[in-house]
Amino acid sequence: MSIHLLIRELAEKNVHLAVAGETELTVTGGQQQLTADLLAAIRQHKSEILNWLRSRNSEQQPIRKNRVLPAVVPLSDAQQRLWILDKLQGGSAEYHMPLAFSVSGKLDIPRLNQVFYSIIERHAVLRTVYDSVNGEACQRVLAVEQCDFRVEVNDFSGIDANQQTMLVQQSLIEAASRPFDLSRDLMLRVLVLQQSLTEAVVLITMHHIASDGWSVAVLLKEFLALYQAEQLHSVNPLPPLELQYADYAIWQRQQEISVASRDYWQQQLTGLPETHGLSLARPRTQFKAYQGALVSDKLGAASSQQLLKLAAKYQLTPFMLLHGILALLLSRHSYSHDIVIGTSVANRVQPELNDLIGFFVNTLVLRLNTEQPSLHDFIDHLRQVHRDALTYQLPFEDLVKQSQISRSSSISPLFQILMTYNSDFGVLASEQHSHFSLPGLQLKLIPSGHYQAKYDLTVEFQLNESGLQIHWLYDVAIFDEVQIRQLNQHFCQLALSVADSGGDNRALESLDMLNTGEIEQLLYGWNQTTVRYPEHLLIHQLFEQQALLQPSHIAVRFEDDSLTYQQLNEQANQLAHLIAATTPLAADTLIGIYAHRSLGMVVAILAVLKAGAAYVPLDPEYPVERLHNILLDAAIPVVLTQTDLMARLQGYTGVPLLLNGCEAVLSHMPKHNPGVAVQPNQLAYVIYTSGSTGKPKGVMIEHGALLNRILWMDHQYGATSADRVLQKTPFSFDVSVWEFVWTLSKGATLIVAKPDGHKDPAYLAELIRQEKVTKLHFVPSMLGLMLEHGGLQQCDSLRQVFCSGEALISNHVEAFRRQLPSVALHNLYGPTEAAIDVSYWDCAGDVTAGVPIGRPIANIQLLILDPQLCLVPDGTVGELCIGGVGLARGYLNRPELTAERFIANPYYQKSRADSSRLLYRTGDLVSRRADGNIEYHGRTDFQLKIRGFRIEPGEVEHQLTQLPGIESAVVLGRMLSGSQQLVAYVKADSWHKGMADELRLALSQRLPDYMIPSLIVHVTEWSLTVNGKLDRTALPLPDVALQPQYVAAETAVEESLLGIAAELLQLNAANISVTADFFSLGGYSLLAVKFLLQVEVKLAINLSIQDLFNMGSFRALAAKCETILQAKTLKHELAHANSDELDEVEF
């Protein structure tokens, strides 16, 4: 074992070594945890340990006792952070340290008083109060004579046992949660709950600003020693203390940070994720409530022994190994490989600190990259991170300052997940250290019931050869118990998998986190979609059957023209024969269709399919350059087009065939079905979509995939010859495919909208009414426009409306229900790379938490994977990957891109029909709800990072649309004033001056401050793409005109507030508008406290941090200050006025 590893393991067990004399070592702290192996290792490495300790001691100045304290004693770095938090939160129980124990035997209350009075006298930190001088925090030690300490006693004896138990538990929680006033209270309280003459419960509560976990052990040890001395009437057995905590605080403030440490942490904290990526049960609120709950579990002796052996084999401490396992767990649950966890170290390097009560503990920030080639690489990385964190250890407060991160009132800085190990006074005490004896008394530590969640999640491990105890303390505001129990289950499974590895090298993703039942459910249970459809049926053959069954039924209508099924079939046959006569046709020959929406377009699509070719839609809206890029990329030999578009085909080297000018030629072509043999694996169409490089990419869809999608839709929703289906989607968008072929395969009538008609709500509403349309599709943004227009309410022929192409929002569903209560709304989802749609959801369900994309359609499998392609559990965000018969063949002429997006399924089982050989990686972030429905969270490429915080715009959009009067919203990241800022675009029922500020204030009640948009821009209409989707690129860039305009200060109070803010933020007060707010200018928690302190000094006004957040602007804050000043003036005048000077006042 290396010396660094040995020192680390001893520190984890709270065992500390110090130099005694020239050649001796002293051992302090948790000596009971010293095993025979550790003692042997200490003896073996004694000389190395002595040299290491001497080198450490030489680097630091000794702590000197201050015989007379200076007038102003600074706070230690750790104390200052807690003092700031106390100021921010107005006194909360977040940093209380309660210790409760039951007492059997007669407890002597006067003796108890004397014992704790002696402890308060001995440890000056317990009688220290905290205040500020000239806006700077300081501490003041009270003389013992100033301390009014008494043990509080509540006598519950003689009460019914059940009621007594309830009262004791209630009293424990209330007492442990009662805030300390740091400016005047002692930092120690003691409560005795008397249950009978010989039974009691004692609660000791200290504030963390004066104590830590080690201090609790010191307090308990001294209490036992002093109480026993009092019982025996002997002298105080405790040796005098060499130092007091104030000496340490003064010493610490004099220490300088080494350049090496500063450089290391600057590199280590660069790009630090400011929040973990675990899924939250509820959005964060602006202020943290700190209410916690506990989940506990245990792994058995066999597993714990395996883990201990494995740690030794890897030359890791047990803590390091458990940390690595926890990081892997969090990585798989958060769709991230950048995992940051905090941990506490005692930080009592100097032996003279060991007997002190005080806040010495330091917090290390451990940042791991779980994206490692193998388990052994990960172990090496883990070991190095721990070694460096100890070597370059700095006070946590210095790390916070050095990181220069943006601060949030709802998120702890640098990390939100804390891990502790073998802590005797952490969440729960270990069993062997929970019982104590005194003459005539038996004491047993018990849970106080006080679970304050300082962090989002605190994980405590207690590992020895008898087992691994695991405690999860979680913030109930953002997590549910079921989530934490799932995390616990997966941690245990992962730990067992690591233990079973026996130290063999392997890929990290091969370590199982899920049990076989979960894997079975995720792969197959949620994907029971197998349906047997006719294998050799083709979509155009279904149309041909309808032409035989009802030849005179109207197949398609366009404005005043129409074609029967027989006419449409014959015209399509003639054009198919002409295509075959024009160019040699083989399987997968691509034929372009370059036409406006018309009867001719419908004829052309059917003709290409009948000819055995695949069609490529060429939208007339395409720019000429894009058009020719597609023609060249697809090597299209024939283009079916119209006369008014011929000029744009100049330079095309293939053959253009006119749909509206070759009637004479077509009249000589046969009218019978061509009967070309087409296989299900041949291409039906190729649709081009935008590429990330700017070059469009052609998605190849085969007949089998298309047929599966259409037969599923018919089975799920049904269509008959009585249906009239609106065709309005641009045919370059794959939704158009089902509009054409589902309609015509079922003998229904296709109603074709005029070119560009899909963008006109009034025209569409009239067309739906006039043509008695029963089924249609809307992109969600267009549905919003139609609902706003109101014309759909008169469309009483409608039976089904389908939505896809964008995220459907709750507001639109609710408005749809109000306007069209008898019409079914269905949310469909699918990328172009899988035939049209792959999932579905009936919008009759609950949409209060958002609109899910539902479950997989027939013969489709939907897997949710992390970046390493591991299955993620239900409720966890991951990337949606699609398998099944609906998959595209790939991208035309793009084998590298095809291989990147269409990957081999790592879970493929050839023997199973419901297992897909390939998966398509969508780039969409989703999670699966408990009921199996999938929830859409956004794109991997839409995810924003604002001031270091990862933000999903969809979450902000959802909260905006929940506000009254907001019809829809889009949230983007924009570069403003040299930094990336969150900008919201909203469409509202009405808009008035100041509404943006009102919305930001309303959002502050729903979202943490870092998710509140810097700017909210009102839009009257959404710009749409040619496919009818929202065009994000067309949203206006916010400029100075849209940002809050400069407004000068008008009152003395406004000038004072701006002056204080300018000094703290290092800005020119003349450039700060009174309409701005402190936080949008760069303020954060520490500066906010300093701001409030300066306001108190200069204006004699005591404001709260909530005032600073809620007022929204300096002008509003100044108005509140002036109201307070006026009230003070009136109170003063009333107090000094004679009674005969007062007029009669009514209240």
DSSP 527-554: G-------TT--HHHHHHHHHHH-TTSE
Residue whose token pair is 């004829």: 603
Give the CATH number for residue 961: 3.30.300.30
Contact 590, 635 (CB under 8 A): yes
Question: Over pLDDT 70: what percentage of the chain?
Answer: 89
| 608 assigned to some structural domain | no
pLDDT at 961 over 90: no
Q: Which residue has the higher pLDDT, 922 or 286?
A: 922
292 in any annotated domain: yes
Strands (E), 476-634: 554-558, 561-564, 590-594, 614-617
Q: Give the pLDDT score at 23.
A: 60
Give residue 492's pLDDT: 96
Q: What was the pLDDT predicted at 1147?
A: 36
Report whether 125 contacts 358 (CB < 8 A).
yes
Which of 377-391, 479-493, 1032-1046, 1079-1093 is the least confident region?
1032-1046
Concatenated DSSP letters of 347-385: ---SGGGTT--S---EEEEEEEE---SSHHHHHHHHHHH
Confidence check: pLDDT of 975 > 90: no
261 pLDDT more than 70: yes
Instruction: Look at residue 444 and tell me whether its pLDDT is greater than 80.
Output: yes
Q: Is the pLDDT of residue 972 over 50?
A: yes
| Residue that wins the pLDDT comparison between 352 and 613 | 613
pLDDT at 1145 over 50: no
Residue where a domain stops, chosen among 475, 493, 518: 518
Question: What confidence category does residue 872 fall into, taking pLDDT thresholds of 50, 70 and 90?
Answer: very high
Check residue 5 and give its pLDDT: 67
Does residue 807 have a pLDDT over 60? yes
Asked if residue 834 has pLDDT above 90, the reply is: yes
Q: Please indicate, yes or no, whether residues 120 and 216 belong to a single structural domain of this protein.
A: yes
pLDDT at position 1091: 86
> Looking at the predicted structure, is the pLDDT value of residue 46 above 90?
no
Given this model, what pLDDT does residue 1146 score?
A: 42
Sequence-ordered list of residues with C-beta below 8 angstroms from that of 100, at least 6 positions apart, any chain:
172, 176, 201, 202, 203, 204, 445, 446, 447, 448
Angle made by CA atoms 65, 70, 73, in degrees to the nearest 5: 90
Q: For the whole model, what pTM was predicted?
A: 0.79
**Domain co-membership, 220 together with 140:** yes
pLDDT score recorded for residue 760? 85
Claim to verify: residue 40 and residue 179 sit in the same structural domain: no
Give the model's pLDDT for residue 30. 58
Contact (CB, 8 A) for 16 and 355: no
Angle of CA points 810, 811, 814, to nearest 5°: 85
Helix runs in 529-684, H state only: 539-549, 565-582, 599-610, 624-634, 663-666
Residue 420, in any domain of the structure: yes
Q: How confident is the model at residue 59 (pLDDT cuts 50, 70, 90)?
A: low
* Together in a domain, 228 and 268: no
User: Do 85 and 132 reside in the same domain of the chain?
Assistant: yes
User: Has residue 605 been placed in a domain?
Assistant: no
Same structural domain, 339 and 411: yes
Report the CATH number that the domain containing residue 1081 is assigned in CATH: 1.10.1200.10
User: Are 244 and 164 contained in the same domain?
Assistant: yes
pLDDT value at 55 more than 80: no
Write out pLDDT tens, residues 550-580. 999 999 999 999 999 999 999 999 999 999 9
My answer on whether 217 and 264 are in the same domain is: no
Between 132 and 114, name the one with better pLDDT.
114
Note the pLDDT of residue 654.
94
Whether 960 maps to a domain, the answer reads yes
Q: How many domains does the chain have?
A: 5
Sign (positive/negative) of CA torsion 405, 408, 409, 410? negative
Q: Are 463 and 422 in contact (CB under 8 A)?
A: yes
727: which 2 tokens?
Answer: 């065709």
* pLDDT tens, residue by residue, 81-112: 888 888 877 777 888 999 999 999 999 999 99
Mean pLDDT value across residues 894-901: 95
Q: What confidence tens digit (pLDDT) does each residue in 899-945 have?
A: 999 999 999 999 998 999 999 999 999 999 999 999 998 877 765 65
Same domain, 130 and 176: yes
Give the ranges where 45-204 is alpha helix by DSSP (H): 46-59, 77-89, 109-122, 161-177
In a domain, 439, yes or no: no
**Would you state the pLDDT for residue 427?**
36
Domain edge (last residue) among 502, 518, 534: 518
pLDDT band for position 635 (cuts 50, 70, 90): very high
pLDDT at 431 over 70: no
pLDDT band at 29 (very low <50, low <70, confident <90, very high): low
Structure confidence by residue, pLDDT tens digits, 1121-1144: 998 888 888 777 777 766 555 454
Residues 239 and 95 in one domain: yes
Kindly indicate the confidence band of residue 31, based on its pLDDT and cuts at 50, 70 and 90: low
Of 10 and 681, more confident: 681
Q: Is residue 206 part of a domain?
A: yes
Task: Name the pLDDT band for 1040 (thresholds 50, 70, 90).
Answer: very low
* CATH, residue 129: 3.30.559.10
Mark whether 114 and 131 lie in a shared domain.
yes
Q: Which of 966, 1000, 1034 is the last residue of a domain?
A: 1034
pLDDT tens digits for range 155-183 = 999 899 899 999 999 999 899 989 999 99
Q: What is the mean pLDDT of residues 760-782?
A: 93
Q: What is the mean pLDDT of residues 488-517?
A: 92
Same domain, 94 and 112: yes
Pairing of strands 775-778, 199-207: unpaired
Q: Is residue 502 left, alpha or beta, with left meaning phi > 0 and alpha meaning psi from -120 to 50? A: left
Q: Answer whether residue 156 is part of any domain.
A: yes
Is the pLDDT at 60 greater than 70, yes or no? no
What was the pLDDT predicted at 89? 72
pLDDT for res 879:
95
In this predicted structure, what is the pLDDT of residue 10?
72
Strand partners, 971: 984
User: In the predicted model, is pLDDT for residue 590 greater than 80?
Assistant: yes
Q: Which domain covers residue 1115, as residue numbers?
A: 1052-1136
Opening angle at CA 1036, ends 1034 and 1041, nearest 5 = 170
Q: List the structure tokens of 154.
A: 């509540």
| pLDDT given for residue 836 in this prediction | 94
Of 650-664, 779-793, 850-864, 1101-1115, the poorest mean pLDDT is in 1101-1115
Which of 676-685, 1012-1021, 1052-1061 has the highest mean predicted lDDT (pLDDT)? 676-685
pLDDT (average), residues 59-86: 83
User: Average pLDDT over the chain, rounded to whole?
Assistant: 87
Q: What is the CATH number of the domain that holds 514?
A: 3.30.559.30
pLDDT at position 1084 is 62
Q: With 50 as the cut, is the pLDDT of residue 425 above it?
A: no
